[in-house]
A and B are shown apart, each in its own frame.
Chain A
Amino acid sequence: QVQLQQSGPGLVKPSETLSLTCTVSGGSIRSYYWNWFRQPPGKGLEWIGYIHYNGNTDYNPSLKSRVTTSVDTSKNQFSLKLSAVTAADTAVYYCAKWEGSIEAPDIWGQGTVVTVSS
């Protein structure tokens, strides 16, 4: 059973870059698409984008200019970078595995609370 463990700083200064990592255990990172989502305090869910180990990506058009994702197959990890953050980027960030057989994200990380503040 695949499990996801998120890591990264909980506080980022305005205009800086948010960086998060998701470590995959119990399965190969080569086998799936890997997604990022976020949820501002008290609000709904927003998709950020996905990446495959072969380099295929797709991003939410509203965030695309600031998002970079990557996969490190040697560490079974994938990462998110969001540049030029503002207070509006304060949210719980989630990584998730996309299960191709059901076309849905079926396994989620525990979530990382990221606050943008000086």
Chain B
Amino acid sequence: EIVLTQSPGTLSLSPGERATLSCRASQSVRSTYLVWYQQKPGQAPRLLIYGASSRATGIPDRFSGSGSGTDFTLTISRLEPEDSAVYYCQQYGGHRSSSLTFGGGTKVVIK
């Protein structure tokens, strides 16, 4: 099983600041199958980034993803109050791989 480790656990920043969230995999992940979600309390996850770096429909351009292999990053360039949430990375091993795992999440708190 591919283990995804997200850091930091919590990030406390002010509006307008830049947030950098890390997702490290225990073995190489195809970029095609690396995804980022945003989840607010009481809500379902919202797809932000797919294919490691492509923004999902309707996602503001202040969200960007990068990385390859075992190291991936989600960057929020200019934090806004509504960005307060937990962010998860997720990998998929491909059809019939029986392998889809999530990182433990990074909580972003806007001061």
Contacts and interface: CB of A to CB of B under 8 A. Distances in A.
B93 to A, nearest CB: 10
Contacts of B104: 44
Contacts, number: 55
Nearest to A100: B95
Interface in B65-108: 88, 90, 92, 95-98, 100-105
Contacts of B32: 103
Nearest to A108: B44
Given A44-B105, A45-B88, A60-B98, A102 B44 contact: no
A45 B50 contact: no
Interface string A42-84: 0011110000000000111100100000000000000000000
Contacts of B88: 44-45
Contacts of A46: 102
A111 B37 CA distance: 16
Interface residues on A, range: 10 to 19
Contacts of B95: 58
A112 to B, nearest CB: 11
A102 B49 CA distance: 10
A111 B100 contact: no
Nearest to A46: B102
Contact of B47 (A44, A59, A94, A105): A105
B45 A108 contact: yes
B56 A106 contact: yes
A45 B98 contact: no
Contacts of A109: 44
Given A102-B50, A105-B47, A108-B46, 12 more contacts: A45-B37, A58-B95, A58-B97, A59-B98, A102-B56, A103-B51, A104-B47, A104-B56, A104-B90, A106-B56, A106-B57, A111-B44
